[in-house]
Amino acid sequence: MTTSAFVPMLLATAKMTIPNMLLALAEAFGVTLYIFGFTLLGALPLGMLVYFGKKSRIAPIRWFVNGYISIMRGTPLMLQLIVVYFAPHLVFGVTMARNWRNLAVLIAFIINYAAYFAEIYRSGFESIPVGQYEAAQVLGYSKAQTFFKIILPQMIKRVLPPVTNEIITLVKDTSLSSAIAVTEMFTLAKKIANSPGSPGMITLFAAGIFYYVFNYLVAFVMRRIEKKLDYFE
């Protein structure tokens, strides 16, 4: 999850052309997409597990999960990144591998967003009328059939708008990975804008275009998914 040698060479040049600047931003945007993609792959299913833990009948599990959600939502993501990165060495005296920085970013993002997704799932499940469960029981559905065939599709339909908002926020939050010196697109854009012979504010404007276009595509895809689930209204 690093940029190639092209980026340091670009920053060292006396005069930076706009095409080279755009190429560097596009390369760094690959790091942004890496963080974004793996965070979603980890946080969406983990959020469901966290939700089940929150609803557990075992009190210690329920207490632990509630505490975890409270901490993740009550402290800055930047602080969580720093803690995850430095804690193994400062707390346990463990010397981590060179690629630990990249893994720490993913861990921090996943556990942070899983807490938010768990609360979104909770609101979705709790919005399902009790009559849906009763009707499924009358029809002879098992608990598993009721969950996967009746409750889960309706829950997904109801939570898509807030999930979409969180996903769009995630795209922008990837810039916080600079807290532990991971260079994604926005961090690189700032470096280029501050370097001698750079296009200046054009660089930051270009970075904003990258974010906007990608978030527009995310919103478009999520709207299409939402329309396909209109059957469950």
Residue 138: predicted pLDDT: 85
Amino acid found at 132: Q
Average pLDDT over residues 193-207: 82
Residue 1: predicted pLDDT: 65
Residue 134: predicted pLDDT: 84
Query: Given a cut of 60, is residue 14 above it in pLDDT?
Result: no
**Percent of the chain having pLDDT more than 70?**
91
* Two structure tokens written together for 186: 């926005």
Q: Residue 232's pLDDT band (boundaries 50, 70, 90)? A: low
CATH class assigned to 6-127+157-232? mainly alpha
What distances in angstroms separate CA 179 from CA 76, 85, 86, 101, 188, one per listed residue? 12, 10, 12, 10, 13
Query: pLDDT tens digit string along 102-112?
Result: 999 999 999 99
Closest CA to 105 of 34, 165, 171: 34
CA–CA separation, 30 vs 183, rounded Å?
11
Q: What is the pTM of this model?
A: 0.90
Query: pLDDT tens digit string along 76-95?
Result: 999 999 999 999 888 888 88
Amino acid found at 224: R
What are the boundaries of each domain within the chain?
6-127+157-232
Better pLDDT: 16 or 69: 69
Amino acid found at 48: M
